[in-house]
Structure 1
Amino acid sequence: MEREFKWQIANPADFDRIAESDAVQPLVQSSGTTEMEAIYYDTFDGQLAKVRGGLRLRREDGECVVCLKLAPQEDFDGAFKAREEYECYAPDVRSGMLNLPSVGAPQEFCDEILKSDLMELGRTIFTRRTYQLAYQGCTCELAFDTGKITHRGRISPICEMELELKDGSTDDFNTLALALQAKFSLRPQPLSKLARMLRL
């Protein structure tokens, strides 16, 4: 289960202010930067849209990862998301769908998708700066994304911050997220990259 908070950031310059703050720096265990490009898919009859799901093939510094997301939940005024997430390394989306049941994805749903023709919905291209944090009884990843979303020739910018739980206490994770939101007056981003893509 993926659990994350997502916020809109007005200016990429704010990333440094947040990352170097006394609220974040003492928690940092490691950091890094990754170049990402993702292609999003659905079937021609919209099987993924019908279950508010998402299917993507993402290149992360040259490595390909297929990811399926299902059953989203929302809370905390739109910043919080929780959903089933399954991913595996694969060279293309169909190879990934064949392998996803081995990491817990529903077999029947994957089989139905594989029977159908897939169409590309759009793409995201962005740079992700990450900070691995340890806070109380949880570990989490703070990420800053800058780049663009493309859909049918239209383009929209990406400038956002995410906090994703990696392990440990959900209560401590929620406490940290809401503390950061209050300290930096963060504005929730209620829509995923895919949802914003489809609105272009």
Structure 2
Amino acid sequence: MPEVELKLEIAPEDAEVLIASDLLGASGESREQRSTYFDTDDRRLFKGGFSLRIRHLGKTRLQTVKAAASTASLFSRGEWERQVTSDVPIIEHGTPLQAVFGDIGQALTPIFEVDVARRVWNVVEGKSNIEVSLDLGDILADERRQRICEIELELKDGDPIDLFRLARRIVAIIPAKIGVRSKAERGYRLLEAASSAAKAEPTDLAPDMTAEAAFRRIAQSCFRQFRLNESVLLRRRSEDALHQARVALRRLRSALYLFKAHLGEDAGRFSSEFRWLAGLLGDVRNLDVLLAKVTEDEVREKLLDAREKACTVAVEALSSSRASALAMDFYEWIHCGPYRDEPALQLPAKEFARKALDKCRRKLKKHGRELATVGDEDRHRVRKDAKKLRYASEFFQALFASKRDGRRYKHFSDAMETVQDHLGALNDLASSLAVLRKHGLESVIAKAAGDQAGKRGLIRDAQAALDQLIETKRFWR
């Protein structure tokens, strides 16, 4: 089993509480680190999936080039280090930078700094040796500053389960969130003042992967999207971040659905818990959709008050011990769960993907035949079927990389988007009446019901879009 690193984000005031607890043993070695990150004015390195830093460690300068996970898969390794004698980067053939970007050296300039005090402990947990690093400091970008306090646990040798055992002992002493961003990512986001929502990133799958490795990569990608948006939500109640956090949870539950026959009973428990969080976020999202349509001041005031209350409930849930335990349990399960030895998941990911996509398509075709003759609840089920097919298509797209597959994927994706637009409009009509009733706004239900006049047309358009999708050539066949 490969080594696992785990990052925990904590509040600066809790760092001394952890140190004073003696959980990590005698006071660890302390060292100052100052890292300067370089890029071009138009951020070519970052956009290309790389970071470049020079770190001061006492009198030593260490230059490090790192490739993001999706970029690293193109090379034999994802990190290149060398000592340098100045604060000017050296671009050489030993890293991919020259091959990818050409003569980029003269265009590089310092863009942000990371200054931290790092304390290091070597901890024995069970039969494993774990290096624990506590970083406390600042990221400085232009005139902006962001405090950083995080713990990194790196398994040097032993069992990954011991790493999570130690993490749980830490969390029993101080509150912590699983970290999914590197310091470089934090710096770029600060540089761009990017406290906005994080959309789903392309899932980096390779044709020679097993289904088990593909699931692990997909699940980590979905979890990362959720954590990035959760971090924004816990700082400010962003409508976009809330929507994307909900999308991430839907994608995560779709991934569990696609692989559920081979994941064991844990998958059902996780899906149920993620449904709980998604439902609370959905309560807020439904109000946001309705607020975009309402113009009457009195009604807007009531809806805004309801949104504030619903958002408070959702944020409190995200901050709860239940949510923290869920995140830790799920992250451990991704890396160490018994599903990883399931024989069916040792099949090629491409073979698994074809079967999974066919299953999703058949289910959508079956349930979406007669939208005009079923009720809102059944149409909502069709909408969920369509989302599962769309997410599955996005998850597995990279496995089908020929030009023909690319053309077919584009047509299929466009058809899927049209289907979701029409089914989403129908769902908004159905849910708006329920939201108004829930919040005691019967006085405007009659007007909202008037919007139902165009429902037949929407159903007609949705059916036509569904029929067109089913006729569209499958990119995976």
TM-score scaled by length of structure 1: 0.72
- Matched residue of 2:69: which SS? strand
Distance in 2 (CA, whole Å) between partners of 1:2 and 1:67 is: 21
Gaps of 5+ in 2: 71-76, 191-477
Map Cα deviations across residues 106-152 of structure 1 (whole Å, 9 max, x no partner).
x4444445611212221011211111223334323212222211111
Q: Which has the higher helix share?
A: 2
Q: Does 1:158 align with 2:140?
A: no
Match of 1:11 in 2: 12
Q: Aligned ranges for residues 138-157 of structure 1 at < 5 Å?
A: 138-157=128-147
| Contact 2:128 2:155 (C-alpha < 8 Å) held by counterparts | yes
Distance in 2 (CA, whole Å) between partners of 1:47 and 1:171 is: 38
Map Cα deviations across residues 67-90 of structure 1 (whole Å, 9 max, x no partner).
1221338xxxxxxxxx93332222
Q: Which amino acid aligns with 2:36?
A: I
RMSD: 3.0
List, as ranges, runs of 4+ consecutive aligned residues in structure 1 with deviation greater than 6 Å. none
Q: Which amino acid aligns with 2:40?
A: T
Q: Aligned ranges for residues 82-101 of structure 1 at < 5 Å?
A: 84-92=78-86, 93-95=88-90, 97-98=91-92, 101=94
Distance 1:87 1:174, change over 3 A: farther
Match of 2:30 in 1: 33
After TM superposition, give the deviation of residue 33 of structure 1 in Å.
0.6
Map Cα deviations across residues 26-70 of structure 1 (whole Å, 9 max, x no partner).
xx7x83110111100123443321243321101012311111221
Q: Does 1:120 align with 2:110?
A: yes
Distance 1:98 1:178, change over 3 A: farther
Distance in 2 (CA, whole Å) between partners of 1:127 and 1:68 is: 22
Distance 1:161 1:112, change over 3 A: same
Distance 1:55 1:178, change over 3 A: farther
Distance in 2 (CA, whole Å) between partners of 1:113 and 1:165 is: 34
| Contact 1:5 1:163 (C-alpha < 8 Å) held by counterparts | yes
| Contact 1:132 1:142 (C-alpha < 8 Å) held by counterparts | yes
Q: Which amino acid aligns with 2:46?
A: A
Aligned length: 180
- Matched residue of 1:164: which SS? strand
Identity across matched positions, percent: 29
| Contact 2:65 2:80 (C-alpha < 8 Å) held by counterparts | yes
Match of 2:52 in 1: 55
Distance 1:122 1:16, change over 3 A: same
| Contact 1:2 1:85 (C-alpha < 8 Å) held by counterparts | no
Q: Which amino acid aligns with 2:89?
A: R
Match of 1:131 in 2: 121
Distance in 2 (CA, whole Å) between partners of 1:2 and 1:121 is: 32
Distance in 2 (CA, whole Å) between partners of 1:88 and 1:121 is: 20
Distance in 2 (CA, whole Å) between partners of 1:146 and 1:31 is: 14
- Matched residue of 1:98: which SS? coil
Distance in 1 (CA, whole Å) between partners of 2:160 and 2:64 is: 23
Q: Which has the higher strand share?
A: 1
TM-score scaled by length of structure 2: 0.34
Distance in 1 (CA, whole Å) between partners of 2:177 and 2:138 is: 19
